[in-house]
Amino acid sequence: MTDSVILDVWCELQCPDCHRALDDVRALRARYGDRLDIRLRHFPLEKHKHAFAAAQAAEEAAEQGQGWPYAEALLARTAELSERGEPVLLDVARGLGLDVEEFDTALIDGRHILIVDADQAEGKAIGVTGTPTYVIGGERLDGGKSQDGLRARIEEIADRLLAA
């Protein structure tokens, strides 16, 4: 029996589809707990001008121990991020009690750009074209077009891998 399975969630933090996918992510987390390692992977799309900065901000939040809570809080504000831009990134950090000055510095000095670039390159290499896209057990599931049935499919694969 496998101890845990990795689920990579290729996400874009200005993407309304990714916001809708959060319910599935939360349900999977509730069902599997530590047996499913859900990893946030970045795939900022050019059509969303704040997505690249948002991905860097999420990496800074992860460094401060709040990666997923930050991503979830930011995804709840995609429309506001589109309108107001980077101040929203700092507002979300402040709301979670993170070090906002460090956040601001990280966005200015670009310390997380390499991680975001590497995620994006890997995503492109495996055929990610939109978000959200899930990868589990070597299978890619594209949630950008429709999320219908995806959670059930992820659970099916996770159950099989965990039983192996």
pLDDT tens by residue, 3-40: 889 999 999 999 999 998 999 999 999 999 999 999 99
H or E stretch covering 41: strand 36-42
Position 43 scores a pLDDT of 96
pLDDT digits (tens, 9 = 90+) for 32-73: 999 999 999 999 998 999 999 999 999 999 999 999 999 999
Please give the average per-residue pLDDT across 108-122, as a whole number: 97
Q: In whole angstroms, what is the distance from residue 5 CA to residue 38 CA?
A: 8
Binned at pLDDT 50, 70 and 90, residue 140 comes out as: very high
- Looking at residue 163, its amino acid is A
* Band of residue 148 on the pLDDT scale cut at 50, 70, 90: confident
